[in-house]
């Protein structure tokens, strides 16, 4: 069971201090402390091994180092796909496989090489890479805060410390069982000898939805509108050049040189599906949530324009109320306010990301970043 001694100790200290001034404040902090004790039983393992992906190599061999380290991946991924990939998705995947050379180009070659190296059939590997665009065909995940179903995934928080340092936390929520979670990996992307960026992803995936460029910016992606209507997603890809969301994240990381260029690219890149793109930079005030439709931004929510010291995004437009069945947003706000800007740090942000329902049984991994300090850590979460 993962514990949060740092945050609990801070809440206790703040409760004691403020109780001398305002009894009502102490009562509210005690209530938050009780919420903090409502945890999900999760085992947490920090990732320490990083795999190299060199984009100067032939596309079919860029992920060889990764796949050779996981000889059982094909068997486990096939079993997972047979359990969770709906039959309705098969015709869509067949179209993608047939058009992999003409529609997907270089990234199609990467998928081909990945499939050959791992021994996984190409159709299953393609389906995994398009899991977000296909997700409406699959079952909903259990909800987080009241009985029912929800289709949410992920929480991202960007915050500014009192000294101006930006920190960024992210939980990835999906429906991976424990058997697949060991395939969560750290990857370093290179162009020859030049280091480009680092991210966290899953074996078999060529894209990235969580990554950072040391000294410059960090990025995470949260689902919007359950991935969008499937027909619209694939028509956008075929006729308008919309990029699947996970690969769009990689494009941003490869092409952007700093926070401002990343923010611009996140707002303008043609996407296959709606998404939230959350970023933190290396300078004070550099934090944003870009709410995207396929063709254009719906909203760009900049930390510098809010008067607040943090932004939190789950899976709903920030100007709309979160649904009662999945109100991770308001719990996250309460937990961030309880910490306070004077105490926010890499450690206490990690603590917030570890509190229920921000962390729940569907949380596969947690990451924390501090771009200006070139700090990035990734942790895999396992249900007990």
Euclidean distance between CA atoms 119 and 241, whole angstroms: 29
Euclidean distance between CA atoms 285 and 160, whole angstroms: 7
Cα torsion 175, 177, 179, 184 to 10°: value is 40
Euclidean distance between CA atoms 300 and 276, whole angstroms: 10
**Alpha carbon 127 to its chain's center:** 19
Q: Do β-strands 166-173 and 184-191 pair in parallel, antiparallel, or remain unpaired? A: unpaired
Euclidean distance between CA atoms 9 and 273, whole angstroms: 42
CA 328, 330, 333, 337 torsion-angle sign: negative
H or E element at residue 158: strand 155-160
Q: Provide the 3-class DSSP secondary structure of residue 288.
A: strand
Within a 10 A sphere around the Cβ of 300, how many other Cβ atoms? 16
CA 326, 329, 330, 332 torsion-angle sign: positive
**61 CB-contact burial (10 Å; exposed 0-12 / middle 13-18 / buried 19+):** middle
Catalytic entry in 67, 117, 154, 288: 154
Euclidean distance between CA atoms 382 and 166, whole angstroms: 28
Which of 371, 218, 212, 198 is closest to 283 using CA atoms? 371
Residue 117 among the catalytic residues: no
Bridge partner residues of 361 (DSSP): none
The residues annotated with a catalytic role in the active site are 154
């Amino acid at each position: 069971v993962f514990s949060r001694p740092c945050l609990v100790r801070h809440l206790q200290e703040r409760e004691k201090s403020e109780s001398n001034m305002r009894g009502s404040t102490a009562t509210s902090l005690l209530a938050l402390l009780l919420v903090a004790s409502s945890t999900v039983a999760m085992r947490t393992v920090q990732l320490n091994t990083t795999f190299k992906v060199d984009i100067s190599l032939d596309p079919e061999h860029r992920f060889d180092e990764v796949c050779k380290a996981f000889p059982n991946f094909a068997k486990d991924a096939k079993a997972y796909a047979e359990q969770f990939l709906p039959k309705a998705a098969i015709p869509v995947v067949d179209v993608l496989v047939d058009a992999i050379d003409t529609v997907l180009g270089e990234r199609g070659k990467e998928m081909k090489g990945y499939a050959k190296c791992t021994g996984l059939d190409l159709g299953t590997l393609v389906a995994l890479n398009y899991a977000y665009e296909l997700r409406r065909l699959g079952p909903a995940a259990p909800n987080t805060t009241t009985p029912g179903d929800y289709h949410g995934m992920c929480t991202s928080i960007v915050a500014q410390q009192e000294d101006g340092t930006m920190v960024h936390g992210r939980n990835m929520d999906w429906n991976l069982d424990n058997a697949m979670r060991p395939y969560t990996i750290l990857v370093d992307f290179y162009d020859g000898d030049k280091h480009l960026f680092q991210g966290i992803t899953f074996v078999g995936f060529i894209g990235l939805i969580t990554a950072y460029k040391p000294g410059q910016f960090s990025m995470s992606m949260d689902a919007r509108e359950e991935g969008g209507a499937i027909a619209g997603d694939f028509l956008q890809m075929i006729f308008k050049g919309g990029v699947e969301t996970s690969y769009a994240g990689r494009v941003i990381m490869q092409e952007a040189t700093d926070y401002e260029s990343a923010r611009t690219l996140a707002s303008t890149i043609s996407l296959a599906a709606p998404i939230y793109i959350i970023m933190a930079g290396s300078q004070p005030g550099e934090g944003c949530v870009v709410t995207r439709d396929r063709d254009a931004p719906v909203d760009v929510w900049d930390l510098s324009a809010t008067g607040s010291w943090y932004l939190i995004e789950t899976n709903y437009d920030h100007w709309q109320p979160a649904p009662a069945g999945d109100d991770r947003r308001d719990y996250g706000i309460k937990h961030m306010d309880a910490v306070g800007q004077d105490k926010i740090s890499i450690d206490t942000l990690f603590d917030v990301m570890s509190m229920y329902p921000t962390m729940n049984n569907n949380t596969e991994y947690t990451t924390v970043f501090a771009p200006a300090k070139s700090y990035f850590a990734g942790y895999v979460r396992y249900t007990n």
